[in-house]
A and B are shown apart, each in its own frame.
Chain A
Amino acid sequence: SAVISQKPSRDICQRGTSLTIQCQVDSQVTMMFWYRQQPGQSLTLIATANQGSEATYESGFVIDKFPISRPNLTFSTLTVSNMSPEDSSIYLCSGGQGNYGYTFGSGTRLTVV
């Protein structure tokens, strides 16, 4: 299964600024997903990122706040824009295809002050 490198692993950011999180996959994957996970809670899907098309956002998440790029089948970025303390969370990317399963990056722990 694919191995995903995610960076940064953590960051502390000032409110009003933006942070871009990167995920690099060691093989081509059809689908990539971005999630948010509050400590001790489950994963909430932010959006699905497929190469060659606009990302599909879940209810409560919008492109202006969380722009996503997927320039090829091995790379994706998520930007958290105009951050506020409520954006403090762990952000995760995932990639894979079909019923082979989906692997995860190690996560980005974001703290907004």
Chain B
Amino acid sequence: AQRVTQPEKLLSVFKGAPVELKCNYSYSGSPELFWYVQYSRQRLQLLLRHISRESIKGFTADLNKGETSFHLKKPFAQEEDSAMYYCAFFGNEKLTFGTGTRLTIIP
């Protein structure tokens, strides 16, 4: 069965420090992976798609098939990055979410 794991429920990082939110998946086929962000009182937003290999708001994520990981990274955290982050996986015709990581940036 497909599964997405986000091992950290909470993560606090000082402003200006690097950020890494971990995501691991289990799936036998070719995965389609995404990162979503939910800011306070806002709807869930798509942040990154693995297929596009883009950088959004300074965040990047690289698919590592050997380690079955799709970690989200940003070199210098900003206060506005405080939010809930979800790793999501599309496979077997359904979109499955990890348990989420609440990122808090300490000023």
Contact = CB atoms under 8 A, between A and B. Distances in A.
Interface in B4-47: 32, 34, 43-46
Main secondary structure of the interface of B (DSSP, over half): strand
Contacts of B51: 99
B97 A42 contact: yes
A94 interface: yes
Interface stretch (A19-27, A68-76, A81-89, A101-109): A101-109
B93 A99 contact: no
B26 to A, nearest CB: 16
Nearest to B96: A45
A42 B99 contact: yes
Interface residues of B, number: 20
B46 A102 contact: yes
B34 A101 contact: yes
Contacts of A106: 43
B43 to A, nearest CB: 5
Contacts of A43: 44, 86, 97
A66 interface: no
Nearest to A107: B43
A110 to B, nearest CB: 16
B106 to A, nearest CB: 20
A56 B44 CA distance: 23
B32 to A, nearest CB: 5
A35 B90 CA distance: 14
B95 A94 contact: yes
Given A42-B99, A99-B32, A102-B34, A1 B46 contact: yes
Most A C-beta atoms less than 10 A away, residue of B46, B49, B88, B99: B46
A98 interface: yes
Interface in B54-91: 86, 88, 90
B96 to A, nearest CB: 6
B43 A104 contact: yes
Interface of A: 1, 31, 33, 35, 41-43, 45, 48, 56, 58, 92, 94, 98-107
